Structure 1
Amino acid sequence: MSQTQWTWDLPSPFIMTVSAGFEHTDRLGHVNNTVYLQWMEQAAWLHITDLGAPWFAWQQADRAMATVDTHIHYHAAASSGSLLKVGTWLTRANRLHASRHFQIIRTSDGATLVTADIDYTCIAISTGKPARMPAFMVNAHQAGVTQPATP
């Protein structure tokens, strides 16, 4: 199935491709739910780096984004050998908060396996307390914000 046949929740996702291996499965032979979270985190980092905010710059600025709320819906299971596309979008960003939407699609049939929304707050790495994002982080986050498609 081609990418154009996949139904994404929002337009123009940032996409990371993963191949589910035996090491990702649980006792039921399905990809473990915690693995989906790890893949979403990897996709988020690749996306924000692509937008101009690599980790080393965050460290220099003493800033990080801490997860404060996660909503995940598991729609179907993947198994070892499945090729998956992890799509992500920034859906909100200001100087203190950001939100992301995720969608994981199985390439063989275009099925949406997982959808998730995660909210983040910017913190100072040194204290763990909320802190405003420096300009480079604000710019990267706001550049990546996707607006819902209009019908």
Structure 2
Amino acid sequence: MARVILEPREDRAVFVLPLTIRPEHIDENGHVNNVVYVGWLQEVGTAHWAANFETDQRAPWSWVALRHEIDYFRPIRPDAAGVRAVTWVGDPQGPRFKRYVRIEDGEGNLCAQGVTDWCLVDATTLRPHRIPPEMLAPFEH
């Protein structure tokens, strides 16, 4: 079955994070190991959150990843330059929402894409908390 290519929704703000290929990212096949992509999903989500909210606004909250799904399309080589993660969020569902990520090479080719189910939790109790409407505004156009 063909995989659906993720494209940002027009009503969502897109965040872009440059990625650096490090020697420890390269596996025995000579390209970025699949485990690194999971780290990148986490990294771009955290950076997007930090870019939109001040430290004091983030302090009461934390995000917990409930599920990652990644599709791989083309390998990223050790000497790749211009690699980037492009991310946006879906619609909130109580304390959860999906974050979509595209990993692209320097020419804009899709190398991988991922979807993570995130859950907002109270940073003190770690109990799920409904996503407040005001928390979504920075992620929308």
| Class of the TM-score when normalised by the shorter of the 2 chains | 0.7 to 0.9
User: How many residues matched?
Assistant: 133
Q: Which has the larger displacement, 91-100 or 26-35?
A: 91-100
TM-aligned CA deviation for residue 15 of structure 1: 0.7
TM-aligned CA deviation for residue 122 of structure 1: 1.4
- Tell me which stretches of 4 or more aligned residues in structure 1 moved more than 4 Å: none
TM-aligned CA deviation for residue 13 of structure 1: 2.6
- TM-score w.r.t. the length of structure 1 is 0.74
TM-aligned CA deviation for residue 143 of structure 1: 2.9
* Residue number in structure 2 paired with 1:57: 57
CA distance in 2, matches of 1:38, 1:56: 25
* Residue number in structure 2 paired with 1:29: 30
- TM-score w.r.t. the length of structure 2 is 0.79
TM-aligned CA deviation for residue 87 of structure 1: 0.2
* Residue number in structure 2 paired with 1:149: none
| Structure 1 residues not aligned, in runs of 5+ | 1-6, 147-151
* Residue number in structure 1 paired with 2:84: 85
Report % sequence identity.
Answer: 18
SS in 2 for 1:41: helix
Cα distance per residue 1:20-66 (max 9 Å; x no partner)? 12221112111011211222222112212222x2455333x2x2111
Q: Are 1:120 and 2:113 an aligned pair?
A: no
CA distance in 2, matches of 1:124, 1:55: 15
| Structure 2 residues not aligned, in runs of 5+ | none
